[in-house]
Structure 1
């Protein structure tokens, strides 16, 4: 019995009980995703959001997605190209269907708009960054964009840093004057949007806390919970965790997959198990399948060990660093409870220490890796650092002009385009090659024997990674 026969163990579960579909959104302004990526990964592993939205990514087109890859997520980006800073991005967990809303991609505005579908839930989400020195004409374009989106999209959730510290969100009201903040507030009141953030989101030494980051929705029931977490690294913006909960009562069939370490299975016992298995009873097709599945599952349980879960954290992140991160979060909560300047100073100093510790731990890990004799570990680290799943590929259908994101449809479009490269070859005899084009050289006879094969195998490095060939 071949081990590939047991690659998957599937158990069908029927459920007609109420269940909750929960989507977690993590939003923050990072002011450089790359520089804070290591600690940000720890927060992602801890909070496990479904959707991640970041303003001020400071990414450039020359920075590949692999540098900021988060396992089991794909990224969508809109980078600032002409100057430093800015930019937005959205990560989404795999298996969530996503469509980029291109008609809302207004070029002067740093924003990203997605339609997402998960289970029976369909939402429109956006991440926006409005710099404090935005030109007047671009500010008007942003207001028109919000009006257009709020009137045309259902189930809309907008996350972003809008940089209006002077606005009072405790009691929004029409504002006199022609300032940018007054125009924003008056536009907000004229739409069906509701702003959900009520606490300060930016804390900087020497300045009063301010509310810059907003969550705008056109249905207050879209967000059930909002949590305020400590900033990432030395960022002065907090992390916001928002949750959408939906209740369903449907009969649903789903699968649960056990992760088994098949290379370490006892295949001698597996062969014996099936060799000695009694004849299959005379049953109908459905019951015969159930009988075989039960036997296979029992055999797998007895002879194939369960695989240990792989840690998605970086290898230099140890228990001590995780402990430091937890202390940092506690210091932040203490400061938010007391609002004392001394508590903020303690938090900020400890946060800087944690950032330095993480950076030094990564440098030390890479230094040890370079100086070690383990080529296998070195190339594995390089491969994991550079190979990543990037943004879902989007193609424009040649007939309809619509964007296609479904992997199967994308593959079919590639196959269709590839097929066009073939010519209809004539069916008559192949033409004779002219003498002046013939190559007089011939390949010498190659003698292969067992000893040559063994000598070649002995020269293969055992610590190098095998390629796809």
Structure 2
């Protein structure tokens, strides 16, 4: 499906990956960035990013927070894009929430930031920016303090909005759509376009432009070569090599 839809970036939450499986998570043509849950089953996040994009991973030291950040290089004179994916379990402690808020505060200074993930905060009303629970209200405060806009407007799991998409710049992300599923997931896919000029790695290969060649001159030069002498000497060298190998 990833190749069929020609995605440049794929963000996945709840990968459930760990080192106990022998199957490969590689996807042809994509770089994989992953953070597996430490010490217990479930969770985990991953990013598949098309190989031609110029991207580097950003290290974080918060093992309790299931998040992953990368920087996608922009073209000359264009801002780099900071991209993050996060999975917040439904029963996450406030202490871990605070670690994530600190992490988000550290990266929110980027002029172009995109954050996606499953945050498991179904009581938030994003139309009114209100919430029933204290943890959800604190999450809203963090979003507002970091000047983030939430762009998903439709339910994406069982009539609730668990998967969200944030950005800190108007016009950076567009074409947000909800629909379809990846594999056996019970969450709807969120599709969007990052409207930025991203640097792509280009392999430069020099080739000859035969459309501009002087074939008349080429033919005359070829005719001047004493082919019988050249090929005769080559045949003599070949025979000499053969005889030396036999001795």
TM-score using structure 2 length: 0.75
**Residue 82 of structure 2 corresponds to residue 82 of structure 1:** no
CA distance in 1, matches of 2:66, 2:203: 39
Distance 1:105 1:124, change over 3 A: farther
Alignment match, 2:230:
none
1:45-444 alignment runs, 5 A limit: 45-63=3-21, 67-102=24-59, 104-120=60-76, 121=78, 122-150=80-108, 152-173=109-130, 179-203=134-158, 209-246=159-196, 278-280=216-218
1:61 shift after superposition: 2.6
Distance 1:246 1:136, change over 3 A: closer
CA distance in 2, matches of 1:171, 1:44: 34
CA distance in 1, matches of 2:49, 2:40: 27
1:184 shift after superposition: 0.8
Distance 1:114 1:254, change over 3 A: closer
Alignment match, 1:261:
none
Q: Could you list the runs of 4 or more consecutive aligned residues of structure 1 that deviate by over 4 angstroms after TM superposition? A: 253-257
Q: Is the 8 A contact 2:74 2:197 kept in 1?
A: no
CA distance in 1, matches of 2:192, 2:142: 24
Alignment match, 1:5:
none
Structure having the larger proportion of residues in helix? 1
SS at match of 1:68: coil
Q: Is the 8 A contact 2:124 2:132 kept in 1?
A: no
CA distance in 2, matches of 1:255, 1:118: 19
* Unaligned stretches of 5+ residues in structure 1: 1-42, 204-208, 258-276, 283-447, 450-469
1:233 shift after superposition: 3.2
Q: Is the 8 A contact 2:57 2:70 kept in 1?
A: yes
1:33-44 alignment runs, 5 A limit: 43-44=1-2
CA distance in 1, matches of 2:19, 2:69: 19
* Unaligned stretches of 5+ residues in structure 2: 207-214, 221-244
CA distance in 1, matches of 2:64, 2:31: 25
The alignment covers a number of residue pairs equal to 209
Greater relative contact order structure (CA < 8 Å, 6+ sep): 1
